[in-house]
Structure 1
Amino acid sequence: MNYPENKVMKAFEIYTVLARDGVAPKEAVHEYIADDSVRSLLDSFSYKVDAAIIRTSEALYLVPKSKLSPFHVSNEWIKKNYLRSGATNADIYLLYFAAIVLFGSFYDRYNSQEPTIQFLRLDDWVKNMNERISYLSSHDEEELIKAEKEMSYNWRAIIDKWEDMDDIKETAKRQTGNTISRMSFIDTAKRFLISQGLIQDIGNGEVALTEKAKTIIQRYFMEEGHNKGIFEFMYSFEEREE
């Protein structure tokens, strides 16, 4: 399809900002909604780099769809910037797991399309992590191994990593990444998700989802085809018991 030169330049201008910053301002949202040509071009540009354009009322976001995207955040980058020296892939798995549990806390086990709470306390985040790990541990070894192969997700490493962490001082009001504890790990997860624009610290030990996070969750995380059944596996075992 042929596009007028001014449309191509406008779309490329917005894409340049997205590629550089990962986000484009409200003016870009207006262009994306109002102009079919600009929207089509931006979607084509993002498709070529295995990414997606996520639109909220306030901004456009460029989000990688797979590891093949040049905008994908690598495990090594996360280890270097957020995890302690000597971190392994098990720490990465646990970090992603913490994010999934956080999202699930807002969305009532992924049965709702809108958040059911407005904010989450960090100590409740730790509590929810404990509950999820406990339910995962209730699976027998063979079932966990089978699930790992199907989902490419190391459930046993997640369980071991979390259970190895100290939980004696979990009630302390302030803990940082310098302490090997579950609360300090949640503090690390919080800082990482804030850096990715997915949550915001609202004070008093509480966090809230951003509009970017809500849009991504509704568009991708709720779909089993995108999440490989990970969420269903995390919660269905509990439902069977009930």
Structure 2
Amino acid sequence: MNYRNEEIIEAYKLYSKLAVEGASSLGEMRAYTREEHIEELMNQFAAQDHATIIIAGEQVYLVPIASSSPFHMSNETIKKLYLPNNATNLDIYLMYVLAIILLGEFYNSYQTKEPTRMFIGMEEWLEAVNTRMETLAQIDKEVLQKVEEEQEYNWIKILEKWLALDDVKEKAKKLTGVTASRISFLNMTKQFLEKQDMIKDIGNYEIEITEKTKVIIQRYYMDYEYNRGILDFIYQYS
């Protein structure tokens, strides 16, 4: 395909803006949505960076689809920006599992590609995590070790960390402080997902998923290439 010089320059300008900001309004990205050559060029630029461009609602996002992408957020960056000073990589892995379980509540344990509910309460999310973790904890340790080798994911340590956290029984509204409790870890995960525009707090300790999340799940999240079978492992023991 031959492109005019003006198209290449315009596509590069728009892509550079998206690369810096991570997201832009549809109005700012009008050329991407209306001009086929601009769209093709920007998609090619994104592919070279192991990323993809998605449109969700009134926003256009640049989303990394591989850890090799320059836009992929490193563990060190996540710890520095979103986690307590004493956080480790294990905290990040646990946070990821909590996010998977949260989204699974919206998608019927990933059996559907359309959400089956509008929102979820924090306590219901906590209950879902407890149930799933307790189920996985019943798996023989040798089986877990084999799964760890296959997925390169430290399930034993993740389960140990969650089960070691205090299962505080009080209402969520009384547990917003920084404590070594499960609800506080859920709050930390919630805040991270909010910053990434993945979920939205709608009040009354309830949250909903965003249009960005819906598009990502439909296009990538259930693909084995991207989740490494983690979804299958979490939900095969029901």
TM-score, structure 1 normalization:
0.93
Q: Please list the CA deviations of residues 127-172 of structure 1 after superposition, one character each: whole Å capped at 9, or x if unmatched.
A: 1110110111121111111111111111111101101111134434
- Which amino acid counterpart does residue 38 of structure 2 have in structure 1? V
| C-alpha distance in structure 2 between counterparts of 1:168 and 1:58, whole Å | 39
Residue identity (%): 44
Q: What is the correspondence of 1:85-234 to structure 2 with a 5 Å cutoff?
A: 85-176=85-176, 178-234=178-234
Residues 60 and 163 of structure 1: CA distance in aligned 2, closer, same or farther (over 3 Å)? same
What is the CA distance between 1:13 and its match in structure 2? 2.2
Note if contact 2:51-2:65 (Cα within 8 Å) is conserved in structure 1: yes
Query: Is the CA contact (8 Å cut-off) linking 1:29 and 1:55 kept in structure 2?
Result: no
Q: Deviations over 1:99-131 (max 9, x none)?
A: 101110100010111100101111111111101
Residue of structure 2 in register with 1:75 after alignment: 75
User: Do structure 1's residue 16 and structure 2's residue 16 form an aligned pair?
Assistant: yes
Structure 1 residue ranges (4+ consecutive) displaced by more than 6 angstroms after TM superposition: none
What is the one-letter code of the residue matched to 1:16? S
8 Å CA contact retained: 2:199, 2:210: yes
Instruction: Give secondary structure in 1 for the equivalent of 2:114.
Output: coil
Task: Using the TM superposition, give the Cα deviation of residue 25 of structure 1 relative to its aligned residue in structure 2, in angstroms.
Answer: 0.9
Q: Structure 1 residue 65 and structure 2 residue 32: aligned?
A: no
Considering only aligned residues, what root-mean-square deviation do their CA atoms show, in Å? 1.5
Match of 1:27, SS state, is coil
One-letter amino acid of the counterpart of residue 130, structure 1: N
> 1:92 and 1:152, CA in 2 relative to 1: closer, same or farther beyond 3 A?
same
Q: Which moved more, 1:216-225 or 1:6-15?
A: 6-15
Instruction: Give 2:33's aligned residue.
Output: 33
Q: Please state whether the residue corresponding to 1:72 is helix, strand or coil.
A: coil
TM-score by length of 2: 0.95
What is the DSSP-based 3-state SS (H/G/I as helix, E as strand, rest coil) of the residue aligned with 1:55? strand
Q: For the residues of structure 2 that align with 1:110 and 1:26, how far apart are their CA atoms?
A: 29
Measure, in 1, the Cα distance between the counterparts of 2:144 and 2:16. Answer: 44
Counterpart AA for 1:156: I
Question: SS at the partner of 2:52?
Answer: strand
Kept in 2, the 8 Å contact 1:29–1:58? The answer is: no
Instruction: Quote how far apart the aligned CAs of 1:189 are.
Output: 0.4
**How far apart are the structure 2 equivalents of 1:33 and 1:168?**
49
Corresponding residue for residue 47 of structure 2:
47
CA contact (8 A) 1:148 1:154 kept: yes
Structure 2, unaligned stretches of length 5 or more? none
Kept in 2, the 8 Å contact 1:28–1:60? The answer is no
Checking the alignment, whether the CA contact within 8 Å between 1:15 and 1:45 is kept in structure 2 is yes
